[in-house]
Amino acid sequence: MAEGAVLTNRERVMRDDDIIVSKTNLKGLLTYGNDIFCEIADYKVSDILGKPHNLVRHPDMPRCVFKLLWETIQAGQEIFAYVVNRGKKGDHYWVFAHVTPSFDEGGQMIGYHSNRRKPTQAALQTIRNLYTTLLQEENRHGNRRDAAQAGYDLLQKILKEKETSYEEFVLSL
């Protein structure tokens, strides 16, 4: 699906036992995607290899969550996050992602690995509300970097008020 193409507003729902798996290099270019990933996103493996992982980025996904995700994995740490993605034909799908850095035998970071499962409806209700608030804040800012930072600052404020970290928050849902 081309950037800015019309979204269908149709949700694709993962099966309970589905696990979407993908791997990227350090620049976020896809080096692997399993059959479930290709099925739910409507791509062939040949369509995705060498492409940026953000080809499935949905415009309703707050940029600040990706800012947090990239900061965390580039620091060599794992992260859990709820993500709404879009498929090639404009359908969307929600995932609960576990993203980790990958290391070679010498301990050098060589890429990233993500496993995604079907999120619960209860978790999605909370996440949709949070992401709507974050998107509203981001949309108040014209510059992409400023928007992501504004959303990030608001997310940190919300987490501080809840006396929790992002990881504790998402794992509690």
pLDDT in tens, the chain (173 residues): 445 468 999 999 999 999 999 999 999 999 999 999 999 999 999 999 999 999 999 999 999 999 999 999 999 999 999 999 999 999 999 999 999 999 999 999 999 999 999 999 999 999 999 999 999 999 999 777 799 999 999 999 999 999 999 999 999 99
pTM for this model (two decimals): 0.93
90: nearest Cα among 59, 116, 65: 59
- Specify the CATH number of the domain 20-172: 3.30.450.20
